[in-house]
Amino acid sequence: MTDPTATECRATLTRSYERATRAQQVANAVRPDNTASMTTQVEGPTLTTEIRRDSTGGLQSTVDDFVVNLGVAEAVLSAIETASEDANKATDGGRGEDDDGGADIDNDGGDGIGGDDGADIETARTAAEPTTDETTNL
């Protein structure tokens, strides 16, 4: 039972992204960890989370947990995006070009043409391997 004299503690956390789709992706990633005292919304490229708790200690703990979850979600989404871009570059048909017209590094002897040495396929395979950083070791 809640103390009727207790004051509700609230925090609003706002994070803006370059794209609305990234804000939605991050929101989808953190929502499963939200508690009943939290709501997360996306408006355009802005993600907003409201947290309400009965004590400042509870609020601090929940905010801290959310910020860690947010950091992990952003890191995972960035890693997926980078791996996808690397895989696309490695499988561009050996032309040595990607969507931006720049030269790719294909590790097949420096000629910019996909060779028979399998290096292009190996690059695609290693690009998607999991990595760790300090935020995932908590």
The pLDDT of residue 60 is 96
C-alpha torsion angle, residues 25, 84, 79, 20 (rounded to 10): -30
pLDDT at 121: 39
Give per-residue pLDDT as tens, 68-120. Answer: 999 999 999 999 999 988 888 877 654 545 455 444 444 444 444 444 444 44
CB atoms within 10 A of CB 105: 13
Q: What is the pLDDT of residue 88?
A: 81
For the chain, the structural domain boundaries read 9-137
User: What is the CATH topology of the domain spanning 9-137?
Assistant: TATA-Binding Protein (3.30.310)
C-alpha dihedral over 110, 112, 114, 116, to 10 degrees?
A: -30
